[in-house]
């Protein structure tokens, strides 16, 4: 009986759909008010929509058939009509499966979400506009989940009953506290302190100016490579993502492997530095750090590493230096960095001419771009990981966020100078000028990435939501030297901070030299463990001979100013 009912309801639903004036009907011509034919969907999209709607009604029929069967006292089939995607943690509670009402809410939501995604894919938009629609539709779908509302989340209801309502009161208190600070709490802020529980590697600040402090870390081996490693982190975050705690510190790993490590610690932009330009970051930041590190180490050359926008700045600086005959850098490592911005991923959704022009008018000649705004933008890229779980746990369940060092760093945002940020948006994300030889002039020099002819190590990560790995791979076609490209598992942060001591996940390497990222991956070999071990072997080829480690940091010209991690990194964004 239930199967016959389902079949009949499906047939009725399909006939009903056939009679609706839907714009995606394959046999319809749609015109505007003036009689001009319009095409609301792409070529081939009508059949896509027909299949999507057929699937939709099949799933709805199956769902309602299960509901009616249950209502009549029979036992429905054990298999749900639709299941959450792998890794979707919103519906893990047993009530979502064991309770008929909440199970219905969950499955109905998933069915409707799939239909909205199918409608998005069938829309008659160019790829850039469709990407925007896809992103904002995803935001709406994530927001509309029944898990995000107290009345439709069985776990919230159960906790409220068990605590006699105190969980709801605690959640309201958390909401008021977060409204005061203007952000969603994603970790226990009181559990960490910069310089005590994170950023604890021993070292000294050996140089500073208005833009950055340079940290030299104490050696952990009796001998070290003659050429030091200079790290340029992104200025949109604090550097200590690379020095969280000893067990997952990239800095400590490099020093344990016999390298003298220098770290750039960017100043959190304020009124005093609100006029800082992109060229300032290159000349008085990256290039100055390289010069000081080489002087202190008395080395012929240094090895340089940049992460994310730090890699973009480092590459820009190296192109300027090479054009001017400066060969003080032996090798370059770029971690999840963009040089070709033609496909910037979901961040491209926020970039258009109107938005960039507005930034240029408001802060382009002086001012600050607030770190909290940028931080929230990054959160929206992974709303189901970085927004809604905390809304549910903090406000609906009344829980306090757990202590997690990486999320503490993630919440420690930084402000950016308006001139630098506006220039970066226009010339990188909007116009993609860096990849064009001679298109940009930086520090008075025409920039050509082909001039970067030293060996380079490029790391991308497979699930990166900020720097899509295929876009990072395009750098192999832009740099002039020998390139080693490696693809790590996981995302933008977890894929990079993959400690060698734990040796988890995997990475791909040794792919063929081809002009297509997917072709490279098809020919690459997957290796188990952390890419750190692979990189350190590569780096040693360019590190020079072994010399005795110097126990005194700095030099006569650059004396230690204060212990690491320095005071710049401790300044929080307003």
Residues recorded for the chain: 574
17: DSSP letter? H
Token readout for 260 is 């003298």
CA distance readout (Å), 323 to 16, 445, 450: 69, 7, 10
Rounded CA gap, 379 and 203, in Å? Answer: 32
Q: Which of 304, 308, 454, 479 is catalytic?
A: 308
416 sits in which H/E element: strand 416-417
235 an active-site residue? Answer: no
Token readout for 224 is 């070290």
**Residue 214 Rama label (left phi>0; alpha psi -120 to 50; beta):** beta
Do residues 110 and 84 lie in contact, with contact meaning Cβ atoms separated by under 8 Å? yes
| Alpha helices (runs of H) in 417-483, residue ranges in sequence order | 418-424, 469-473
Pairing of strands 368-369, 546-548: unpaired
Burial (CB count within 10 angstroms: exposed 0-12, middle 13-18, buried 19+), residue 157: middle
State the Rg of the chain over Cα: 27
Token readout for 153 is 């989340």
Strand partners, 204: 216, 563
Do residues 81 and 66 lie in contact, with contact meaning Cβ atoms separated by under 8 Å? yes
Token readout for 11 is 């047939």
457 sits in which H/E element: strand 456-461
Strand partners, 484: 457
Per residue, the 3-state secondary structure of 223-291, as one string, reads EEECCCEEEECCCCCCHHHHCCCHHHCHHHHHHHCCCCEEEEEECCCCHHHCCCCHHHHHHHHHHHHHH
Question: What phi, psi does 23 have (nearest 5°)?
Answer: -70, -15
Q: What percent of the residues of the chain are helix, what percent strand, and what percent coil, each to the nearest 5? A: 45, 15, 40
Do residues 456 and 482 lie in contact, with contact meaning Cβ atoms separated by under 8 Å? yes
Catalytic annotation, residues: 308
């Amino acid at each position: 009986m239930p199967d016959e009912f389902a079949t009949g309801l499906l047939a009725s639903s399909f006939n009903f759909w056939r009679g609706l004036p839907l714009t995606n009907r394959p046999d319809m011509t749609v015109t505007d008010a003036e009689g001009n034919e319009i095409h609301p969907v792409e070529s081939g999209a009508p059949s896509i929509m027909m299949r999507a709607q057929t699937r939709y009604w099949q799933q709805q029929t199956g769902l309602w058939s299960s509901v009616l069967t249950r209502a009549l006292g029979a036992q429905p089939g054990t298999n749900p009509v639709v299941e959450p995607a792998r890794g979707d943690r919103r519906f893990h509670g047993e009530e979502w499966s064991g309770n008929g009402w909440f199970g219905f809410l969950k499955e109905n939501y998933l069915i409707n979400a799939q239909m909205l995604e199918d409608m998005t894919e069938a829309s008659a938009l160019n790829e850039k506009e469709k990407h925007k629609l896809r992103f904002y539709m995803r935001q709406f779908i994530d927001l509309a989940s029944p898990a995000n509302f107290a009345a439709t989340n069985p776990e919230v209801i159960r906790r409220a009953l068990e605590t006699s309502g105190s969980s709801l009161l605690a959640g309201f208190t958390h909401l008021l506290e977060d409204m005061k600070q203007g952000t969603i709490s994603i970790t226990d802020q009181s559990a960490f302190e910069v310089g005590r529980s994170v950023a604890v590697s021993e070292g000294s600040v050996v140089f500073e100016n208005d833009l950055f402090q340079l940290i030299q870390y104490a050696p952990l081996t009796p001998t070290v490579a003659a050429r030091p490693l200079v790290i340029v982190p992104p200025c949109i975050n604090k550097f200590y993502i690379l020095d969280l705690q000893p067990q997952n510190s990239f800095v400590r790993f490099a020093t344990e492997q016999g390298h003298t490590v220098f770290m750039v610690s960017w100043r959190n932009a304020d009124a005093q530095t609100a006029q800082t330009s992109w060229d300032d970051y290159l000349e008085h930041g990256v290039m100055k750090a390289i010069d000081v590190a080489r002087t202190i180490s008395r080395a012929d050359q240094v090895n340089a590493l940049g992460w994310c926008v730090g890699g973009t700045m480092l590459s820009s600086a190296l192109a300027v230096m090479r054009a001017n005959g400066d060969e003080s850098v032996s090798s370059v490592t770029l971690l999840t960095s963009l040089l070709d911005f033609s496909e910037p991923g979901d961040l491209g959704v926020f970039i258009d001419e109107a938005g960039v022009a507005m930034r240029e008018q408001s802060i382009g000649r002086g001012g600050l771009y607030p770190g909290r705004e940028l931080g929230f933008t990054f959160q929206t890229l992974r709303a189901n990981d970085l927004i809604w779980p905390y809304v549910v746990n903090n406000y609906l369940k009344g829980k306090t966020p757990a202590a997690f060092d990486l999320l503490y760093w993630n919440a420690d945002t930084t402000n950016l100078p308006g001139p630098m940020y506006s220039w970066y948006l226009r010339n990188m994300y909007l116009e993609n000028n860096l990849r064009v030889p001679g298109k940009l002039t930086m520090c008075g020099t025409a920039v050509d990435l082909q001039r970067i002819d030293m060996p380079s190590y490029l790391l991308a990560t497979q699930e990166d939501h900020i720097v899509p790995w295929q876009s990072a791979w395009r750098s192999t076609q832009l740099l002039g030297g020998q390139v080693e490209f490696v693809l790590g598992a996981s995302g933008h942060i977890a894929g990079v901070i993959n400690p060698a001591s734990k040796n988890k996940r995997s990475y791909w390497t040794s792919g063929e030299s081809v002009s297509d990222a997917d072709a490279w991956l098809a020919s690459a070999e997957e290796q188990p463990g952390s890419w750190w071990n692979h990189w350190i072997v590569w780096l040693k080829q360019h590190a020079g001979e072994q010399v005795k480690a110097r126990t005194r940091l700095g030099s006569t010209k650059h004396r230690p100013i204060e212990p690491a991690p320095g005071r710049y990194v401790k300044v929080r964004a307003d």
